[in-house]
Amino acid sequence: MKFEIFKKLDGTLGRTGKITTPHGEILTPAFVTVGTKATVKSLNPEQVRDAGAQVVLANTYHLYLQPCDEIVRDAGGLGKFMNWSGPTMTDSGGFQVFSLGAAYGKEMSKVLKITDPSLLIPERFDDSDAPRLAKIGNDGVSFKSHLDGSMHYITPEKSIEIQHNLGADIIFAFDECTSPAEDLRYQEEALSRTHAWAKRSLEKHLQLNALRQAQGEQSMALFGIVQGGREESLRKKSAQIISDMTVDGKSFDGFGIGGSFAKEDMSTAVKWVNEILPEDKPRHLLGIGEPEDLFMGVENGVDLFDCVIPTRLGRNGTIYTKYGKISITNTKFRDDFTPVDEGCTCYTCTNYTRAYLAHLFHGKEMLGGTLASIHNLHFIVSLVDGMREAITHGTFETYKQSFLATYAK
């Protein structure tokens, strides 16, 4: 993998650049489309490509359980398995440690307001019988499959082995994602675990990459993940440790910024980290995709974002427009024969009306979710593409203010 910086955004950490992978280039900043189970839900690869997506990210945990990483390997790797010819990424499974553990049954998302008392984590060092599917130890994580209840144990080495079988261009070190509602004591313990797991992930990755090279196969890139919750000292400590981490003189190829963020201080947490991470390597903000958060990330030096939000909202009838989100099932759209978003050039907006999409959703037709997802994906991808163009032409602030002024209405 190769990363080049083209232009920097004056007065900020923002920049444009290019990541070169064995399966193509990624112009940055870029939105990474999520294809959890080697499929972008409701869309085929051609529709994903035509929506403007440059790269697809799949989920290690889900593909390990079904169909299993060996099957994906034997099919020729993730890209060939799903018929996607462009760059691919896989996460480490670390977020599932959070979603199946501390967040299980609490409906926590990647971004939450820590003032909500229903989301506070109880004392973590008791032996309560709170329902959880994952248990964390210093060596790894044991969990019950959400599919059949079978028991599994994932270590950093196992996560890297799975990801090498999946064969993506860019993979991530195994980490423990924590909630910003966790107390400082647990955040410190989890951070030490994440750093130990990062070193073990890098060691295993280098071993497997050496085997790939010996067999004449393409190398894969590994990103280390920075954690630390909402604590400034922990975030900065993690960024420094992950930046400096080496095995036999080799370091991470890029970095992921992980964790479940508090909405009110996400921007400061990202800035803390990116002021420390090496400027010459790409940075990926994991699981973030709302428009206002994308602007924040780009200004603070983020090169890549991934999130399920565009297609998840689309399947449920919530659609992005330049004036904010709309729920297409509202009565007022039943006889609205205008495009979903006036001026949008996506397949949905150039061929269908709001009335037609409203009809599809009211009739519970599968096409509704597909058309809405096409538009939402195109909207978010194009928004980040616009940021890249604006930085190039020195108009980023104007672009940002113009978008937010209408989107907030």
Which residues are tagged catalytic?
A: 91, 306
Residue bearing tokens 């032996």: 127
CA separation for the pair 41, 31 (Å, rounded):
16
Residue that has been written with the tokens 């370091």 in this structure: 251
Residue 281 and residue 302: Cα distance in Å, rounded?
11
Distances (CA, A) of 46 to 36, 49, 86, 146, 347: 17, 5, 11, 30, 12
Question: Can you spell out the DSSP letters for 87-122?
Answer: -EEE--SHHHHHHTTTTTTTT--SEE-TT-GGGPPP
Look-up of token digits 């428009």: 291
Q: Which amino acid is at 153?
A: Y
Q: Cα–Cα distance between 255 and 240 in angstroms, integer?
A: 11
The alpha carbons of the chain give a radius of gyration, in whole angstroms, of: 21
- Length of the chain as a residue count: 409
How far apart CA 304 and CA 293 sit, in angstroms, is: 12
Of the candidates 238, 210, 211, 236, the residue with the CA atom closest to the CA atom of residue 224: 238
